[in-house]
Amino acid sequence: MPRRTLAFLALLFLALPASLHAADEVVLNIRQFALGGAYSFGSDPVWLQVSVKNASSRPQSFDLQIQQLNLLADASPMADTIHSPQTLQSGEARILDLPINLVRGDSRHSVIYLQAIANKGTILGRTARTYGDATEG
């Protein structure tokens, strides 16, 4: 009997409109990676443009963490994590231009991963982007 109850509750939850499911309190979007997607590995930083919006009804203070992850190694970080402390008022949106250094790796299985983490460790929002082949030359 408990299996039927759990199955029913799961089906009921899936049937609810998406607007009733939990949503990110901080909406992150990678708008631009490098200039036109052209990048190379090396000592020069690569430009990352991120839009950040507080979708909650209260001010949010959080640490924006940026990582380069290797998907072939259980999404382990390939380099140091970049930390960018942020505070947004309710409904506030902001565009951030951030320089990041890429480490050489398998570019088809690497992603740029961003997450907004509250002071208590709660993940408020996250996004990721693959970056494909490096530019030759």
In angstroms and rounded to an integer, the radius of gyration of the C-alpha atoms of the chain is 18
Instruction: Please report the pLDDT score of residue 11 as a whole number.
Output: 44
CA distance 34 to 97: 11
Tell me the average confidence (pLDDT) per consecutive run of 10 residues in the chain, 137 residues long.
50 44 81 68 77 95 90 73 93 92 72 91 90 55
pTM: 0.73
Query: Does 25 map to a domain?
Result: yes
CA distance 91 to 4: 41
Q: Residue 31: which domain range?
A: 21-130
Instruction: Please report the pLDDT score of residue 16 as a whole number.
Output: 45
Query: Does 16 map to a domain?
Result: no
Query: Does 4 map to a domain?
Result: no
Query: Does 135 map to a domain?
Result: no
Query: Does 6 map to a domain?
Result: no
Whether the CB-CB separation of 23 and 53 falls below 8 Å is answered with no
Instruction: Please report the pLDDT score of residue 8 as a whole number.
Output: 45
Instruction: Please report the pLDDT score of residue 64 as a whole number.
Output: 96
Number of domains in the chain: 1
Query: Does 12 map to a domain?
Result: no
Instruction: Please report the pLDDT score of residue 137 as a whole number.
Output: 47
Sign, CA dihedral 103-105-106-109, equals: negative
Query: Does 101 map to a domain?
Result: yes
Distance of alpha carbon 73 from the chain centroid:
18
